Copies of this chain bind each other. A is one copy, B any other.
Amino acid sequence: MDLFKNFADIKAVQKLEQLARTPYNLAASTALSPERLAAYRVSSCGFDFLYGTQRVDAQVMQALQELADQARLVEQFKAMKSGAVMNRIIGYDSEERQVLHTACRDIFTDKPLSPEETAQAKEQLDRLKKFLADLDKGMICNTKGESFTTMVQVGIGGSDLGPRALYLALKRYCQPGRKACFIANVDPDDAAAVLAELDLSRTLINVVSKSGTTLETLTNEELVRSALTAAGLDPARHMIAVTGAGSPMDDPEKYLAAFHMYDYIGGRYSATSMVGGVTLAFALGYENFLELLRGANAADQTGEQDNITENLPLLMALLGIWNRNFLGHNTVAVLPYSQALLRFPAHLQQCDMESNGKQVSRFGESVQWKTGTIVWGEPGTNGQHAFYQLLHQGSEIVPAEFIGFRQSQYQEDITIKGTTSQQKLLANMLAQSLALALGRVHENPNKSFAGNRPSSLLIADRLTPYSMGALLALYENKIALQGFCWNINSFDQEGVQLGKVLANRILSELAEEKEGERLSPDAPELSLIKAAGLEKK
């Protein structure tokens, strides 16, 4: 595909390498002028993005724009949204799929970019709406005629992290008498701990797996079925499914209802499809889920702008590349100053690291440049009392991405010493960004801060379904744009396969009746089983 180009071959890369020899010094005395902080600011889909505390200047911004243009990042993004086969490695066996998670939120126009896929999304939304209405009307209920209060989502990875992060972020908006829980891990203690706290008779189980073959999910499904049966309940009245049309799980005999997802939506980009939709709409209400889609759609539209100061996900992507490839920082901390976003960094770990933790280009060659960063983070101010010591004075520089909201969700606040808790929260967020940048000279070396550590701030009025949707899609789009720039395929995950193969070999050794190939007596699998004290007695 002639849209693909190697990162090292882009002219702006050489220019940026030059500029990176003398990056902007945030710790210089007048580095953070009022003019700079006012100018390095982009507003989009409800968010203000402040990047005056990144180590960039006008020249770098110009070169980053050139990088975007020369790498044709926006063209690639539009191609993705329009149904190009972006999930591929040229010349090698690969998934060869479209990448159309954007289509499932392109539902607010008469002229969607990918009409067929948006029509499929709308069809599923209509079915979901009807299902929820039937629940409300009592047409779907338990054998005693009681309504369902709880939905347990059984899924892992993309079928867990995104939906869970969004649910926790928006729990405030739950419909009265509704809640959601999640079971993911094959660790049987995960399901046991969740089930121990539920009234199963009032619970719907939502099993989510695109392939219908995910080991953890099928295992947990069986575990939950046993629990339902043990409680004298009929699983067929309590279980629903989200799966690919025609998958082994797409079976009306086994489920009260089945909603569909499609091959053109990758797991880690599926939170706005039925994968997130069923549980979120059950708990938060259908209209709130639509609001989430509306926010995501706004961020998708922003991603089509050519100018980096009008395209927030592109700007976020390029600043990340500046920090990664030119300033040499291999991790990024995502630090939401919002307790409700406690699992958003974990979702981004999947979305980002599974997308861009690659070393093979879309031409099937080993890349000679750095790719995806290590993403981690916890909510502030908690993190300030935990790992910020290293951010400020450690021997590694960690670019920070702060996220905050002007108002709280619950609006249950208290004024102490003239400020609310929300103001204290925000003051701390701004202060951390400044402290990282400015540093402090002190005669006691242990009280000195070198400063000059980059960060940015993303601020909206309030964490709502709309702003959550926008935030999610801003990051999804940032990640895809970075993958385009690095010329890697952000949409497959071949790196998870080897572990599965080896796990099956080990499992075969542990099984009551051994199946499959015999391992050589010297096989590391056998030696490790023995060293771990797990050999069969």
A127 at the interface (CB under 8 A from B): no
Question: What distance in Å separates the Cβ of A150 from its nearest Cβ neighbour in chain B?
Answer: 14
Question: What distance in Å separates the Cβ of A413 from its nearest Cβ neighbour in chain B?
Answer: 4
Residues 410-435 of chain A: 1 if any B CB is under 8 Å from the residue's CB, otherwise 0?
A: 10111111111111111110111111
Give the residues in chain B near A93, CB-CB below 8 Å. Answer: 444
Give the residues in chain B near A358, CB-CB below 8 Å. Answer: 389, 393-394
Question: What distance in Å separates the Cβ of A437 from its nearest Cβ neighbour in chain B?
Answer: 8
Inter-chain contact B157/A360, CB cutoff 8 Å:
no
A58 at the interface (CB under 8 A from B): no
> By the criterion of a CB under 8 Å from any partner CB, how many residues of chain A are at the interface?
165
Give the residues in chain B near A529, CB-CB below 8 Å. Answer: 430
Q: Which of A481-535 contact B (CB under 8 A)?
A: 489, 492-507, 510-513, 515, 521-522, 524-534
Assembly CA distance A94 to B445 (angstroms) = 11
Besides A374-B387, A426-B532, 11 other A-B contacts (C-beta < 8 A): A30-B522, A37-B530, A187-B338, A188-B408, A189-B410, A330-B331, A350-B386, A360-B445, A427-B506, A430-B528, A431-B500
Inter-chain contact B33/A390, CB cutoff 8 Å:
no
A89 at the interface (CB under 8 A from B): yes
Inter-chain contact A434/B524, CB cutoff 8 Å:
yes
**21 intermolecular pairs with C-beta atoms under 8 Å apart:** A30-B522, A37-B524, A184-B382, A188-B408, A188-B412, A193-B410, A196-B410, A216-B385, A222-B414, A349-B387, A354-B389, A357-B393, A359-B394, A360-B448, A374-B374, A376-B376, A432-B503, A435-B499, A435-B502, A438-B502, A438-B524
Give the residues in chain B near A527, CB-CB below 8 Å. Answer: 32-34, 36-38
Assembly CA distance A502 to B354 (angstroms) = 37
Inter-chain contact B422/A188, CB cutoff 8 Å:
yes
Assembly CA distance A24 to B188 (angstroms) = 36
Q: Which of A333-368 contact B (CB under 8 A)?
A: 337-340, 346, 349-350, 353-354, 356-360, 364-367
A106 at the interface (CB under 8 A from B): no
Question: What distance in Å separates the Cβ of A193 from its nearest Cβ neighbour in chain B?
Answer: 7
Assembly CA distance A384 to B136 (angstroms) = 37
Assembly CA distance A387 to B360 (angstroms) = 17
Give the residues in chain B near A434, CB-CB below 8 Å. Answer: 502, 524-525, 528
Assembly CA distance A223 to B418 (angstroms) = 15
Give the residues in chain B near A188, CB-CB below 8 Å. Answer: 408, 410, 412-414, 420-422, 425
A440 at the interface (CB under 8 A from B): yes
> Chain B: which residue is nearest A418 at the CB level?
B511
Inter-chain contact A378/B390, CB cutoff 8 Å:
no
Assembly CA distance A501 to B497 (angstroms) = 49
Among B222, B419, B495, B497, contact of A507 (Cβ-Cβ < 8 Å): B419
Inter-chain contact A389/B495, CB cutoff 8 Å:
yes
Question: What distance in Å separates the Cβ of A20 from its nearest Cβ neighbour in chain B?
Answer: 18
Inter-chain contact B353/A387, CB cutoff 8 Å:
yes
A219 at the interface (CB under 8 A from B): yes
Assembly CA distance A389 to B391 (angstroms) = 26
Inter-chain contact B416/A219, CB cutoff 8 Å:
yes
Inter-chain contact A374/B372, CB cutoff 8 Å:
no
Inter-chain contact A372/B384, CB cutoff 8 Å:
no
Would A189 and B389 be within 8 Å (CB), given that A378-B349, A446-B364, A449-B495 are in contact? no
Would A496 and B388 be within 8 Å (CB), given that A52-B531, A223-B421 are in contact? yes
Give the residues in chain B near A502, CB-CB below 8 Å. Answer: 430-432, 434-435, 438
A447 at the interface (CB under 8 A from B): yes
Would A386 and B427 be within 8 Å (CB), given that A434-B524, A440-B498, A494-B447 are in contact? no
Would A392 and B353 be within 8 Å (CB), given that A92-B445, A528-B37 are in contact? no
Assembly CA distance A301 to B499 (angstroms) = 37
Assembly CA distance A219 to B369 (angstroms) = 48
A299 at the interface (CB under 8 A from B): no
Inter-chain contact A349/B418, CB cutoff 8 Å:
no
Inter-chain contact A354/B32, CB cutoff 8 Å:
no
A161 at the interface (CB under 8 A from B): yes
A60 at the interface (CB under 8 A from B): no
A223, A330, A369: residue with the most chain B Cβ atoms closer than 10 Å:
A330
Give the residues in chain B near A350, CB-CB below 8 Å. Answer: 385-387
A171 at the interface (CB under 8 A from B): yes
> Chain B: which residue is nearest A450 at the CB level?
B359
Residues 273-292 of chain A: 1 if any B CB is under 8 Å from the residue's CB, otherwise 0?
A: 00000000000000000000
